[in-house]
């Protein structure tokens, strides 16, 4: 799928695309050229959100001992059989058990050990009589307590290993660690673990008309929208974004940025066939420009290639095109390199179209839509520079290249921005 031209390799400026690759062809090239993932060891305290590279197996039982799950008295259950408010059964209190401070002796029939939640069960005891089922108020001797309700063996006792058994898988490979996962790992004594290394992503945002993100637009210049958007997308997908600032439309400056120390380089702007679109020719000169021009709308000027062992994605400068190209191609690679599923991180639902969406055969279309009273209202198919169309939209509908679109009333899948 390498581009060929009579001009220098990859240089199609002011000539137009020689061909447009299908989305499927571009994805096939990408999946075949993903670099190998690498893992690393991180402390548990820094593992939130990281993706586990191998099953983590417990080498302990959790908990490691039988314990009380209520405040009350550790007893032999048979000693309370038949107890009721009108049939109070006396028990002799022989000691106390507190968390991390077990009772040293054993409990015999007719005896009880005052016990707090979480404390180890004494030897001989097989149940906990809750404090509200015992009455010590009428006893002349504080070593006596009366059971006023029965308990059965095992009642209010947490067994050793009931949470985690030794040898059980705590977290399976491929899991992005959630807060509760960290708690479980900590409870089993895991202090370090192996996770997939987060891919480093160099963002190269070009355009002499651009001002730094957040600047007030003035005269004929625009504030950078793609830099903050791409950085947030990279972080969402598990990568580490490196965005030192805007890069001028200068071949030397862009060439230096393309060789940055990174796993992935994303160029925003300068990816098409204009005079100032330097990046495609530079990628072809220094590496491989495998795809340049994709049969999709928006984002048709997208390019895919590699320089050395780093993947390079050339995304259009128009913000919606940039978002679309990122989600289809660059985001997929970043998620894969970080051990995450390559599928879109968007939820999807099905609903009926309020109005038709048209599309020519041979081109995939990415149509922004809204949900209005449960129906799908198309916002835009084109309009690659209208970023507000994505903020007004609830999601998007994909029209495959082999389809002319969807009729009004058709059931369609909507990918929700979230």
Residue 270: pLDDT over 60: yes
Residue 138: is its pLDDT beyond 70? no
Inform me whether the pLDDT recorded for 309 exceeds 80: yes
Percent of the chain with pLDDT over 70: 93
Mapped onto helix, strand or coil, the DSSP state of residue 333 is helix
- Say what angle helices 251-258 and 279-286 make with each other, to 10 degrees: 50
Is residue 42 a contact partner of residue 165, using CB atoms and an 8 Å limit?
no
Residue 8 has pLDDT above 80, yes or no: no
Report the pLDDT averaged over residues 188-215: 95
For the chain, give every domain's residue range: 23-38+197-337, 40-62+162-196, 67-158, 348-416
Segment 69-76 shows an average pLDDT of 98
Among 72-81, 107-116, 219-228, 308-317, which stretch is predicted with the lowest mean pLDDT? 219-228
State how far the Cα of 134 lies from the Cα of 114, in Å rounded to an integer: 11
Residue 142 has a pLDDT of: 73
Does position 13 have pLDDT exceeding 60, yes or no?
Answer: no
Nearest to 3 by CA among 271, 204, 323, 264: 271
CATH class for the region spanning 40-62+162-196: alpha beta
Q: Give the pLDDT of residue 9.
A: 47
**Whole-number percent of the chain with pLDDT over 90:** 85
Binned at pLDDT 50, 70 and 90, residue 273 comes out as low
Token look-up 């299908």 returns 22
Question: Does the domain made of 348-416 have the CATH classification 1.20.1250.10?
Answer: no
The CA-atom distances, in angstroms, between 11 and each of 16, 25, 277, 284 are 10, 21, 9, 8
* Superfamily of chain region 67-158: Molybdopterin biosynthesis moea protein, domain 3. (2.170.190.11)
Which tokens belong to 357?
A: 């969406």
- Res. 14: pLDDT tops 90: no
**Topology annotation, domain 23-38+197-337:** Molybdenum Cofactor Biosythetic Enzyme; Chain A (3.40.980)
Helices (H) and strands (E) in the chain, counts: 8, 28
As a whole number, mean pLDDT of residues 67-95 equals 97
Instruction: Evaluate if residue 15 carries a pLDDT over 60.
Output: no
Q: Residue 5's pLDDT is what? A: 41
User: What is the bridge-based pairing of β-strands 348-353 and 411-416?
Assistant: antiparallel
Q: Residue 101, CB half-sphere, CA atoms under 13 Å: how many?
A: 8
Contact, 62 vs 164, CB < 8 A? yes
Q: Is a pLDDT exceeding 60 seen at residue 400?
A: yes
Q: Which string of DSSP letters, residue by residue, matches 38-76?
A: -EEEEEGGG-TTPBBSS-EE-SS-BSSS-EESSSEEEE-
Backbone angle region of 348, left / alpha / beta, with phi > 0 → left and psi within -120 to 50 → alpha? beta
């Amino acid at each position: 799928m390498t581009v060929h031209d009579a001009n220098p390799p990859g240089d199609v400026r002011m000539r137009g695309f020689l061909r447009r690759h299908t989305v499927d062809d571009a994805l096939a090239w990408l999946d075949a050229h993903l670099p190998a993932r690498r893992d690393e060891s991180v402390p548990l305290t820094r593992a939130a959100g990281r993706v586990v590279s191998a099953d983590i197996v417990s080498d302990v039982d959790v908990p490691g001992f039988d314990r009380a799950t209520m405040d009350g008295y550790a007893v032999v259950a048979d000693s309370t059989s038949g107890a009721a408010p009108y049939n109070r059964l006396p028990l002799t209190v022989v000691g106390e058990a507190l968390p991390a401070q077990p009772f040293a002796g054993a409990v015999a029939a007719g005896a009880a050990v005052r016990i707090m939640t979480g404390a180890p069960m004494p030897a001989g005891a097989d149940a906990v009589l809750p404090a509200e089922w015992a009455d010590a108020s009428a006893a002349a001797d504080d070593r006596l307590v009366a059971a006023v309700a029965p308990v059965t063996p095992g009642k209010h006792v947490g067994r050793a290993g009931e949470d985690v058994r030794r040898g059980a898988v705590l977290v399976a490979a491929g899991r992005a660690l959630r807060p509760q996962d960290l708690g479980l790992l900590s409870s089993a004594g895991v202090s370090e673990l192996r996770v997939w290394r987060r891919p480093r992503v160099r963002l190269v945002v070009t355009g002499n008309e651009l001002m730094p993100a957040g600047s007030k637009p003035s005269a004929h210049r625009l504030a950078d929208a793609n830099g903050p958007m791409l950085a947030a997308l990279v972080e969402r997908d598990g990568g580490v974004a490196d965005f030192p600032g805007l890069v001028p439309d200068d071949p030397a400056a862009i060439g230096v940025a393309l060789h940055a120390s990174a796993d992935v380089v994303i160029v925003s702007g300068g990816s098409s066939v204009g005079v100032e679109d330097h990046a495609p020719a530079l990628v072809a000169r220094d590496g491989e420009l495998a795809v340049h021009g994709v049969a999709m709308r928006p984002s048709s000027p997208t390019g895919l290639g590699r320089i050395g062992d780093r993947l390079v994605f050339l995304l259009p400068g128009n913000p919606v095109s940039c978002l679309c190209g990122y989600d289809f191609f660059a985001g997929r690679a970043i998620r894969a390199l970080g051990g995450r599923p390559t599928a879109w991180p968007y939820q999807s639902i099905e609903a009926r179209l309020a109005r038709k969406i048209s599309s020519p055969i041979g081109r995939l279309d990415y149509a922004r839509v809204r949900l209005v009273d449960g129906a799908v209202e198309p916002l835009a198919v084109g309009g690659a520079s209208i970023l507000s169309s994505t903020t007004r939209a609830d999601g998007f509908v994909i029209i495959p290249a082999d389809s002319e679109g969807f009729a009004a009333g058709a059931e369609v899948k909507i990918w929700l921005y979230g």
